[in-house]
Chains A and B, each alone.
Chain A
Amino acid sequence: MLRFVLRRLIQMVGVVLVLSVLVFVWLRSLPGGPVSALLGERGTPERRAALEKALGLDQPLPVQYLRYMERAVQGDFGVSTKVLPGEDALDIFFARLPATIELSFFALVIAIALGIPLGYLAARRKGTPLDTTTVIFSLVGVAVPVFFTGFLLKYFFAVEWNLLPVSGRQSTGLDATRVTGLFVLDGILTREWDAAWDALKHLVLPAVALATIPFAVIFRITRASVLDVLDEDYVRTAEAKGLTAQVIRGRHVLRNAILPVVTTVGLQVGALLSGAVLTETVFSIRGIGDALATAFRDKDYPVLQVLIIAAAAIYVLVNLLVDIAYAVIDPRIRTR
């Protein structure tokens, strides 16, 4: 098990390194660049050249990359080129991380809490109206873009019916204490219940919007997986033992059916990260997705690099955790 984890960690470093090269080259191949973004109309050739030199962009690509990596291994990922002198790129990442974690976490909780039970029920009641409705709903969930769902939810629940806040993470004017940067958790930790409640209300719409695709995927995998397991011989054996319906459901059906779902949840973290970009934009949440959108507009290479590479690292790390979890719950892997 330890060797498995180590091997995966080494693989992970490899993946992140390769990705860093790709991102580095890809960003610089896009039209425009930080110099144009910074100077805009005022960009005389002399000023452009001077700025390029200052940012090190006059060097050949391999040199730029090696310099970047040399500093990166020391923890220096450069500064934002949006305004000069810019903020530290890594600081921006850490400042934005909690909002995205909070949003993605709630979205994932919603997706799992609805997807697994509904998937199970739909499988048990295959062909009934409950099954058909949820299947159609999940198909729609996958097909509709996140920003559209976001706009729709916002329009009705926030604007038209005024049930929930339109945007942001917390009402302005609330003097909430910050501990972790996860606003709901902060409110609970500091017992500022009104702040926690307020943050939670702000989370509902973006989290629901972001949850639609992972929900739909988890629902469908659960349903398919339960249908498969229900046909397994060991479920018939369990029935032949006269076990109660609860024991058969929990120990024999779900414990097996959950295995493919676990892998799927790991893969959904990718969908969550890309969905977060759109959701954060729609709901004006200052998270990683929002930072990414801004940095992309400004061609802010250092910030973009940190954000993309960190997002990829998170994705790979989460999948490693999922694989470990899988090995823990599936004895066929654990005890091989």
Chain B
Amino acid sequence: MSTPMSTHAVHPVHSSEPLLSVRDLRVTFGRRGEQPFKAVDGISFDVRPGQTVGLVGESGCGKSVTSLAIMGLLPTRGNTVEGSAVFDGEDLLRLSPGQMRDRRGREIAMIFQDPLSSLNPVVQIGRQVTEVMERHQGLSRKEAMPKAAELLERVGIPDPKARLVNYPHQLSGGMRQRALIAMALACKPRLLIADEPTTALDVTIQAQILALLKELVVETGTALVMITHDLGVVAGLCDEVNVLYGGRIVERGDRHTLFSRPRHPYTVGLLNSIPRLDAPRGEALSPIPGSVADNLPWDSACAFAPRCPNALDVCVQQTPEWEGDDVVGLRCFNPMGVSR
């Protein structure tokens, strides 16, 4: 495919209008009487058409909650969502459930971490693909079936016609994730959110799925939000990377800058904990000491301070503010020097 559209996708024009613009998103859990818990604490980022944006951070930093909030898929009770997520001129957070239903699967699609549990075990793969098209494109099941076979073929599932009548347990893990990708792309959404799509897969399969995603976003011009705890995944895929810590973005930059000159101590920690194939055997990775349980509240400190090798006195007394814009930025009192 070499339409103008795909050319545009290969070279995202950063000055173009954002497709999705998330501003000061906050998600607080906790029912009345409970201590409220800020899972997402003021996150802002933009996604432009055709662009791939990474959200990276350790477990529990609010990646999934961010994506579910944008999709309108958080539980109906027990949380409050504030801020805005403007998609194509409309604030998704202000749409009615019915309006959101019309957009999910058609304009914005999502793929999840565990392909087996994310597929309905008692419904054939073909049906699970066609149902999206039946819903959003007004096709009958019969009309949608051949399209489903094409989609399965497109995502690299061999013998797609036979797979249509298979059930999820009859497919391998990699094939299941491919099927989920097919479902997500069935209606040619403009935005795809992938929440750790490779975490549950073998390393070799991981690479294949990432390559497929990359190929598809280039081909279709779909914007992609890639959620992962693994900076290695981001390396090959994302144009822009946002590093999350404790529900806030602590560093943002384009992939090359972030990898070659990381400035936030947490980003550096994440980079040092990527397993390297060329590392001498027996040399331990250097994971970041401590855990998210040590976090300080952002209100009056840097949440990362208890684990930070660069921490200063000011870090536990004041909130480091965001310095930057929607392309690059940093939240740190004492960032790493350029000559690390």
Interface string of B92-136 (1 = CB under 8 A from A): 000000001111111001101010011111111001000110011
Q: Do the beta carbons of A256 and B135 come within 8 Å of each other?
A: no
Q: Do the beta carbons of B135 and A247 come within 8 Å of each other?
A: yes
* B71 lies within 8 A of chain A by Cβ: yes
Partner of B131, one of A251, A256, A335: A251
Give the interface centre of A233, A237, A241, A332 by most chain B CB atoms within 10 Å: A241
Give the residues in chain B near A232, CB-CB below 8 Å: 117
Interface size, B (range): 20 to 34
Give the residues in chain A near B154, CB-CB below 8 Å: none
Q: Do the beta carbons of A332 and B169 come within 8 Å of each other?
A: yes
Count of inter-chain pairs, beta carbons less than 8 A: 83
CA distance A239 to B110 in the complex (A): 10
Given contacts A233-B118, A234-B119, A329-B122, whether A241 and B183 have CB atoms under 8 Å apart is yes
Within the complex, what minimum Cβ distance (angstroms) separates A1 from chain B? 16
* A44 lies within 8 A of chain B by Cβ: no
Majority DSSP secondary structure for residues of A touching B: helix
Q: Which A residues, 224 to 273, have Cβ-Cβ distances below 8 Å to chain B?
A: 232-234, 236-244, 247, 251-252, 255-256, 259
Closest to B104 in A: A242
Q: Do the beta carbons of B112 and A233 come within 8 Å of each other?
A: yes
CA distance A252 to B135 in the complex (A): 15
CA distance A242 to B110 in the complex (A): 11
Within the complex, what minimum Cβ distance (angstroms) separates B118 from chain A? 5
Partner of A332, one of B109, B167, B184: B167
Q: Do the beta carbons of B104 and A256 come within 8 Å of each other?
A: no
Interface string of A96-122 (1 = CB under 8 A from B): 000000000000000000000000000
Closest to B183 in A: A241
Give the residues in chain B near A241, CB-CB below 8 Å: 104-105, 109, 131-132, 135, 183
Interface size, A (range): 20 to 34
Q: Do the beta carbons of A238 and B135 come within 8 Å of each other?
A: no
Give the interface centre of B119, B120, B121, B131 by most chain A CB atoms within 10 Å: B120
Give the residues in chain B near A238, CB-CB below 8 Å: 120
Within the complex, what minimum Cβ distance (angstroms) separates A274 from chain B? 33
Given contacts A241-B104, A331-B121, whether A233 and B114 have CB atoms under 8 Å apart is yes
Interface string of A165-194 (1 = CB under 8 A from B): 000000000000000000000000000000
Interface string of B170-213 (1 = CB under 8 A from A): 10000000001001100000000000000000000000000000
Interface string of B46-76 (1 = CB under 8 A from A): 0000000000000000000000000101000
Closest to A237 in B: B118
Q: Do the beta carbons of B120 and A240 come within 8 Å of each other?
A: no
Task: Name 16 interchain pairs, CB-CB below 8 A, sorted by A.
Answer: A233-B114, A234-B117, A234-B118, A234-B120, A236-B73, A240-B73, A241-B109, A241-B132, A241-B183, A242-B106, A251-B127, A252-B120, A252-B123, A256-B122, A332-B122, A335-B167
Query: 6 closest pairs, A vs B, by CB?
Result: A242-B105, A242-B104, A241-B105, A233-B117, A331-B167, A234-B120
Please give the residue numbers on chain B whose beta carbons come within 8 Å of chain A beta carbons, in ascending order.
71, 73, 100-106, 109-110, 112, 114, 117-124, 127, 131-132, 135-136, 167, 169-170, 180, 183-184
Beyond the given A233-B117, A256-B120, please list 12 additional residue pairs across the A-B interface where CB-CB is below 8 A. A240-B73, A240-B110, A241-B109, A241-B131, A241-B132, A242-B100, A242-B102, A242-B105, A244-B101, A252-B123, A255-B120, A256-B122
